Structure 1
Amino acid sequence: MRLINVRPRRGTAVLLACLPFVVLALAYLVGSAVRLAENPSDKLLPALSTIVQTVKLYAFTADRRTGLYLLWSDSAASLGRLFAGIGIATALALLLGLLNGILPVVRAVLAPFVAVVSMVPPLALLPILFIVLGLGEVSKVTLIVIGVAPILIRDLALSAQALPREQIIKAETLSASTWLIATRVVLPQVLPRLIDSLRLQIGPAFLFLIAAEAISADSGLGYRIFLVRRYLSMDVIFPYVAWITLLAVAMDLGLTALRRRVFPWSELERGR
């Protein structure tokens, strides 16, 4: 039997999926034990017990100065900026991506501009945004929008253009207007693709968020990581990085569940 036809059973697939994480955890524990045996005050790979104590301090103990639970207050600040940026980017993608995909005149005007903008490194614009928009929330949210929206717009437009032309012709023969074709024929078919595109943009969105918070913020996950790095507080940085990863994974799983529930037929297109 060829390897290309070998499919692991569900239980085996779960074990195989867990294997890299187990190997990574074991490598960390071994490395931490070796370094701490040589230098008990080593900060690069803190012991698991140290990390647990730090998590308790940041997540379940109120800060003496502010009275806040730092992990949760940082998470709330970062997620507020992230959801605002992704929400605006999604709205722009729905509007401009759909117009670019179905209207040749709009595509001739906007498609080249969107393509060029999508090639601009968003982080290179960060100093400009801080100068023009200030150091507040607007510049941080704008950075996420600039980093995410052009990619979503191009992907949605390409998905709309890839639809069979016969569907548009059939709708036109039934006297459907451009508005009806856009909302009843094109939009339902490209929305699952938009959700998948959002999943792929979660990581870059977090990257832009953390970069903005690292430079100018007084709260947030990125702010906290770059605040404690000067003290080599890896027992804080590791849990924060793990927490950001868990948030991103949860968002990815949530979007996948949303697509499957709202558009169950999209799974059939994937052969599932």
Structure 2
Amino acid sequence: MKRLMNLRPSKPTALIMGLLPFIVVLLIYIVASDVRLAENPNDKLLPSMSSFVEAVDRMAFTPSKRTGEYLFVEDTLASLERLGLGVMISAVLALLIAIPLGFVPFVRAGLSPFVAAISMVPPMAILPILFIVFGMGEMAKVALIVIGVTPLIVRDLQQRVMEMPTEQLIKAQTLGGSSWTITLRVVLPQIFPRLLDAVRLTLGTAWIFLISAEAISATEGLGYRIFLVRRYLSMDVILPYVVWITLLAFLFDYLLKQFNYRTFKWYDAGKERS
């Protein structure tokens, strides 16, 4: 008798099971929207599917009468630029900080408590300080992502470095490797795929900081648009934007996972791919 924990669905079955919750949620929304609109055709809380189509056409495929730009495209590009810059800076800083923290005991003794304390500071609490220091421009938004994400990646990578097999480090030293050589030839190649995993896991957090910063101070961006139209209860615009942000986050997660798998096949050896 096979145990439930040992049963594996086929790929078509897994695909259907993965899509099923989305289909159920969509059907529930359609039914609830029809009920509310039947009672009040002007209800804005649950717009009809046709309202979403009209809103997407207006935002994405019709130039703005005021600026002549396609607002959906401009908002997406602005947000992706901020997110990409913030995550890239966070990844580089985390790599430069985490390896010494995990590899060199004296560095760990001096800086590890400080990094741990910094990681506990709520980034949103210091957003006003960032606006005061960097102004209301792009720098403050990127800085919020960096400050919010970098400590999380640092602590994860530090732990990964400390978990490296001691036998590898001893053998590298026996073969005459210096600390610098071992860092470059032994530690860095094993930590880099873990860095990509850490970036994947923190993308959701980075999106939260980005949307929050754009909601407070921006003239374009996905978060800016959502909070701009909320005063008009424009759910036909808000919900497509939320879905688009979710799709972008899912796409980035998938691409990073595929890049990691194809570039560092040894890293995923023995793991079950999802």
TM class by shorter-chain length? Answer: over 0.9
Between the two proteins, the alignment pairs up a number of residues equal to 272
Q: SS of the counterpart of 2:268?
A: helix
Letter in 1 for 2:258: A
Matches for 1:31-46 after TM superposition, within 5 Å: 31-46=32-47
In structure 2, the residue matched to 1:123 is 124
Letter in 2 for 1:16: M
Amino acid at match of 2:234: S
Query: How many angstroms does 1:262 deviate by?
Result: 1.1
What amino acid is aligned across from residue 170 of structure 1 in structure 2? Answer: K
Partner of 2:148: 147
| Distance in 1 separating the partners of 2:166 and 2:196 | 23
Q: Which residue of 1 is the match for residue 271 of structure 2?
A: 270
Amino acid at match of 1:104: P
Q: Which residue is 1:228 aligned to?
A: 229
CA deviation after TM superposition for structure 1 residue 191, in Å: 1.3
Look up the match of 1:86: 87
What secondary structure is seen at the aligned counterpart in 1 of 2:267?
helix
Q: 2: distance between equivalents of 1:10 and 1:65? A: 49
- Say whether residues 1:257 and 2:258 are aligned partners: yes
How far apart are the structure 1 equivalents of 2:110 and 2:145?
24
Tell me the equivalent position of 1:107.
108
One-letter amino acid matched to 2:30: L
Name the CA shift for 1:32/1:264 in 2 (closer, same or farther; >3 Å): same
Letter in 1 for 2:178: S
How far did 1:255 drift? 0.3
The amino acid across from 1:42 in the alignment is: D
> SS at the partner of 2:66?
coil
Q: Distance in 2 between matches of 1:213 and 1:269?
A: 42
Partner amino acid for 1:145? V
| Deviation for aligned residue 1:126 | 0.7
Q: Which residue of 2 aligns with 1:196?
A: 197
CA distance in 1, matches of 2:67, 2:78: 15
Q: Could you tell me how far apart the structure 2 residues matched to 1:168 and 1:217 are?
A: 49
User: Residues 269 and 149 (structure 1 numbering): CA distance in 2 closer, same or farther, change over 3 Å?
Assistant: farther
Q: 2:239 is aligned with what amino acid? A: F
Deviation at 1:161, TM superposition (A): 0.6
Q: What TM-score does the superposition give when structure 2 sets the normalisation length?
A: 0.97
- Deviation at 1:269? 4.0
Secondary structure of the residue aligned to 1:65 is coil
Question: 1:218 matched to which residue of 2?
Answer: 219
Deviations 1:54-105 (A, max 9, x none): 1011111110111110001001111111111101100101100111111111
Deviation at 1:139, TM superposition (A): 0.7
Deviation at 1:226, TM superposition (A): 0.2
| Letter aligned with residue 216 of structure 2 | I
Q: Structure 1's 198 and 220: CA in aligned 2 closer, same or farther, altered over 3 A?
A: same
Q: What CA distance in whole angstroms lies between the structure 2 residues aligned with 1:65 and 1:271?
A: 52
SS of the residue corresponding to residue 63 of structure 2 reads coil
Q: Deviations over 1:206-228 (max 9, x none)?
A: 00000000001111000000000
Match of 2:161 in 1: 160
How far has the Cα of 1:179 moved from its partner? 1.3
Matched letter for residue 228 of structure 1? V
Give, in whole Å, the separation in 1 of the partners of 2:255 and 2:5: 30
Query: Which whole-Å deviations, capped at 9, do the CAs of 1:186-236 have from their partners, x for residues lacking one?
Result: 111111111111111111100000000000111100000000000000000
The code of the aligned residue for 1:227 comes to L
Give, in whole Å, the separation in 1 of the partners of 2:118 and 2:93.
Answer: 14
Shift of 1:271: 5.0
Q: Structure 2, unaligned stretches of length 5 or more?
A: none
Letter in 2 for 1:33: D
How big is each residue's C-alpha offset from its partner over 1:105-151, in whole Å with a ceiling of 9 and x where there is no partner? 11111111110111111111111111122111111100000110001
5+ residue gaps in structure 1?
none
Structure-1-length-normalised TM-score:
0.98
Partner of 1:48: 49
Q: What stretches of structure 1 move > 6 A for 4+ residues in a row?
A: none
